[in-house]
Amino acid sequence: MKETGLKRRILFILFGCLLLCAVTGASLLLRFDRRVHHFHSDETRRTDMTALAESDCDGLLLSMYSPEAFDGEDFRHYRDISVAQAFHACENLADIGDYLAQGFSHSDSLRVVYMGLDPYAVSRLYRHHASLYIRDYEKYLISYAQAHPDTGFEILLPARSLETLRELPEGEYEELVGSYRNFVNICASCENVKVYFIGHEKWLTANPENYEDACCKPAVLHTLLAFTFRDDAYVLTADNAEERLGQMTELVQAEPMSYPDLSRWCMVFFGDSVLVNCGGSFSIPGVVEGLTGAQTYNLGVSGVAAADTVGAELSLNRAVDRFLEQDAEGLKADRICFVIEFGLNDYFGGIPADSSDNGWDVTTYGGALRTGIRTLRESYPDAEILVLTPTYTAKFSGGTEKLSGEGGVLTDYVETAVRVADEMGVRCINNYADSGINADSYELYLSDQTHPNEAGAYLLGERIAKSVAKWNISEE
C-alpha cells in the first residue's frame, strides 16, 4: 500500500510539473506571438488606414523607423509618382503585412511600395531565430511581392552610426550583419524587390553630425532617399552583400579616430562650390562640425574666384567685407578660425596666379589672398587663419592647360597659395598634393571631375580636423 501511495504521489508531482510546463510554455508562446504578430492601433495608424482606403495613389510609403522623416513629395518631384504615406512606425512584419493588405485591397495599380525596413530589429523580435523570421518574411512581405510582379518593392535598410555599432553588446554586431545577409538572400528570389544599403560608407556613418538619437537626421534621410532614386549604386544584392557588409565591419573594427574638441571654436569658411556642392552635414564645414563640435559658418558661393574680376558680384575680399559688415557681430566663441578655400575658379577663369610687380593686386589670385588675410588679421588679430589650396581637377587635362594668356596651370595656383600662406605667417593645407585626390583616385572622390562628392567632402573635412589637432593651441 505504501508503495502504491508513493507511486501516486510521484505521478501527481510529474503531472503537476507537466501542467506547469505546459502553462508556462503556452504563456511564453502567447507572449512571443504578441511580440511578433500584434501591433498597437493608435490614432496615427487608424488615420493611415483610412487614407489608404480612400487613396488612388501610385505608390505606398511606409517604414519601421523614422517614418516622419520620409517625404512623400520626393516621389512626386523626382519620379512623378503620388504615394500614400504611412506616418505610423510599423512595429513588426505583421504590421507591415497589414499595411500591404490594405494598400493592395484598395488599389490594383500600385507602381511602387517603398519602405524603410530594419532586419536587425526584426531579428531581435524573434530572438535571432532565423527560421522563424524567414517564415514571416515570406508570409508578410515576399508573398505580396510575388503576387504583384508589376509593382516595384524598394526597401531602404537603416544605416547606423559607427558609434552605435561599436556600442552593441558582445555578439550583437554579428547578429545584425547576419540579419542583413539573411534578408538580402530572402529577397533574391523576387526580381521586383530592390534592397538599398548605404551603411558601409564612412562619410555617412563616421560623422556624428548625420545622426540624432542613433537615427539619421531627417535632412540626411532625405538625401539617402534621393540616392536610391538616382541610380542603383547602393543596391544590396546576394552577390555584393559580403563585400558591402565587410566594408562596414572594417569601419567598425578600425581604431576610432580621436579629433580635437573644438566646441569653444567658431570656424568661418570662405570659398567656392567646393564648400557647398554637398550640403549640410555632408559639406566640408559640416564634416568639421560633426567631428570636432566646432560651430561652423559656410560662406561658400558657387562660381566665385578669389580675385576681383570685372562684373563679379563676389570675390574673397568682397565676401570678407560683407562678413565684417553684416555677420561678424554674431560670432561668439573663445576661438575663431577663418578657413580660405579658393583657386579653382581663378584657374578656370584664366586669372593671373600672382603678380611679380604688385603682390597686393586683388585682380590676381595671390594678391586677393594676401589682402583678404591682412583684412581678417586686422579685425581679428588673435584668430587662426587656414588657407586650403585648390584640389585636383580632371578637367583641362588634369589642370595642365593654360586657359588664357595671363593665366597659369593649376599647380601655379597651388604653389601661390602655399607661398602666400608662408609669407603671411598663416597655416596651409595642400589639398592638391596631399589629400589623396589625384588622377588615379578622383572618380572615388569627385562628382563631376571637379567638385567633391560626399566621400571627397568627408576626406577634406577630416583633413582639417586632423590638422587642427596638431596645432597644439592652448585652450586657456
Q: How many independent structural domains does the chain possess?
A: 2
Domain of 200?
43-253
CA distance 353 to 370: 12
CA distance 414 to 347: 10
CA distance 419 to 137: 62
161 shares its domain with 202: yes
139 shares its domain with 247: yes
52 shares its domain with 165: yes
Burial class (CB in 10 A: 0-12, 13-18, 19+), 124: middle
309 shares its domain with 397: yes
223 shares its domain with 274: no
196 shares its domain with 290: no
Q: Considering 221, 253, 285, which residue would you say is the last residue of a domain?
A: 253
331 shares its domain with 449: yes
Q: Is residue 30 part of a domain?
A: no
| Count of C-beta atoms within a 10 Å radius of residue 321 | 13
Burial class (CB in 10 A: 0-12, 13-18, 19+), 318: middle
CA distance 345 to 332: 32
169 shares its domain with 221: yes
Q: Considering 253, 273, 296, which residue would you say is the last residue of a domain?
A: 253
Q: Quick check: helix, strand or coil at residue 195?
A: strand
Q: Considering 253, 275, 309, which residue would you say is the last residue of a domain?
A: 253
Q: Is residue 350 part of a domain?
A: yes
Strands in 357-426 per DSSP E? 384-388
| Count of C-beta atoms within a 10 Å radius of residue 183 | 26
Q: Is residue 208 part of a domain?
A: yes
CA distance 134 to 128: 10
What CATH number is associated with residue 59? Answer: 3.40.50.1110
220 shares its domain with 301: no
* Per-residue tens of pLDDT for the chain, all 476 residues: 556 666 666 666 666 556 555 544 444 433 545 557 787 878 999 999 999 988 888 999 999 999 988 998 999 988 899 999 999 999 999 999 999 999 998 777 899 999 999 999 999 999 999 999 999 999 999 999 999 999 999 999 999 999 999 999 999 999 999 999 999 999 999 999 999 999 999 999 999 999 998 889 999 998 999 999 988 999 999 999 999 999 999 999 999 988 999 999 999 999 999 999 998 999 999 999 999 999 999 999 999 999 998 778 899 999 999 999 986 776 778 899 999 999 999 999 999 999 999 999 999 999 999 999 999 999 999 999 999 999 999 999 999 999 999 999 999 999 999 999 999 999 999 999 999 999 999 999 999 999 999 999 999 999 999 999 888 665 44
132 shares its domain with 167: yes
Angle made by CA atoms 118, 123, 128, in degrees to the nearest 5: 160
